[in-house]
């Protein structure tokens, strides 16, 4: 299995600012993903973080709003840019790949509140 940590665990931010969320995996993984979970809702995939290339974004999500970095096989960041109250959500990182028989493991999430 993989153990995933995220920082910060929660934050309260002002409208118009940006927040960068870090995701660290305790082993090398092929695939890393970022999800958003809005209050009382299911998880929606934002993007797949590709190591060494640009992230692959799902419909409705764009790089300017959610820039992602993946500098190596154990680490990724998601930035929520120019935040508005509608961005208040839990953001979850997950990781997986062939080494884990295609299971995905999730971090504890970052609870973001935008005022």
Partner 1 sequence: GDSVTQMEGPVTLSEEAFLTINCTYTATGYPSLFWYVQYPGEGLQLLLKATKADDKGSNKGFEATYRKETTSFHLEKGSVQVSDSAVYFCALFYNQGGKLIFGQGTELSVKP
Residues in the site for partner 1, rule: CB under 8 A? Answer: 4, 30-31, 33, 41-45, 48, 92, 94, 96-97, 102-109
Cβ nearer to partner 1, comparing 19 with 96: 96
Q: How far is CA 114 from CA 10, 77, 82, 85, 88, in A?
A: 11, 19, 10, 5, 5
Give residue for tokens 């992230």.
55
- Residue 16 Cβ vs partner 1, minimum distance, rounded to whole Å: 28
Residue number with CB closer to partner 1 (32 or 114): 32
Check: CB of residue 70 under 8 Å from CB of residue 51.
yes
Nearer to partner 1, 48 or 81 (CB): 48
């Amino acid at each position: 299995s993989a153990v995933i940590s995220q920082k910060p665990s929660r934050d309260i931010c002002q409208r118009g600012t940006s927040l960068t969320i870090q995701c660290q995996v305790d082993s090398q993984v092929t695939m890393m993903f970022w999800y958003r979970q809005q209050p009382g809702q299911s998880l929606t995939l934002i993007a797949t973080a590709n190591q060494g290339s640009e992230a692959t974004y799902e419909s409705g999500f764009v790089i300017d709003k959610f820039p992602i970095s993946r500098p190596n096989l154990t680490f990724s960041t998601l930035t929520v840019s120019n935040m508005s109250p509608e961005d208040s959500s839990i953001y979850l990182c997950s990781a997986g790949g062939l080494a884990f028989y295609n299971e995905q493991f999730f971090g504890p999430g970052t609870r973001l509140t935008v005022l």
